[in-house]
Amino acid sequence: MSLAVRALRGATTCEADDPSQIAERTVELLESMFERNNVDHDELISIWFTTTVDLSSAFPAAGARTIGLGDVPLMCAQEIAVPGSMPRCIRVMAHIYTALERQDLHHVYLHEARSLRDDLAD
């Protein structure tokens, strides 16, 4: 079986700028992304997180570390503040090794972020 490097995407939203909710929603999103795509810990290369400007009380990477991802390179950044964009949003791009073809990846969008990619079937 040949493995390729792929980027797996996802997003979720929070109801408030609350550190515990940022961690909770980040963990929920990552676990869903990994489960839907059969990603094992050793297949993770790195994970990028972005948050909208209204989520600044915690780093999503801190939540990721609570599920054993402390040895995976994690990076957080702020999303571009585009007028009218989705508020309180966490976006993720995980770089993984996988046997899945690009078109077979299941990108995951939870809570209000589902509307960001209504072209993706659940």
Q: Which residues of 16-35 are buried (b: 16+ CB within 10 A; e: fewer)?
A: ebeeebbbebbbebbebbbe
> Which pLDDT score, from 0 to 100, does residue 122 have?
52
| pLDDT score at 56 | 97
Q: What are phi and psi of 89, to 5 degrees?
A: -110, 135
Q: Are 39 and 5 in contact (CB under 8 A)?
A: no
For residue range 35-90, list pLDDT tens digits in order.
Answer: 999 999 999 999 999 999 999 999 999 999 999 999 999 999 999 999 999 999 99
Higher pLDDT: 117 or 33? It is: 33
Q: What residues act catalytically? A: 9, 65, 76, 79, 91, 109, 117
**For position 115, what pLDDT does the model report?**
85
For the beta carbon of residue 59, count every other beta carbon within 10 angstroms: 19
Residue with the larger pLDDT of the pair 9 and 121: 9
Q: Are strands 4-13 and 108-109 parallel, antiparallel or unpaired?
A: parallel
Q: What is the pTM of this model?
A: 0.93
Q: Average model confidence (pLDDT) for the chain? A: 94
Q: Please give the radius of gyration of the chain, using alpha carbons only, rounded to the nearest integer.
A: 14
Tens of pLDDT, residue by residue over 93-118, are 999 999 999 999 999 999 999 888 76
pLDDT reading at 12 higher than 80: yes
Domains of the chain (ranges, CATH numbers) = 4-117 (3.30.1330.40)
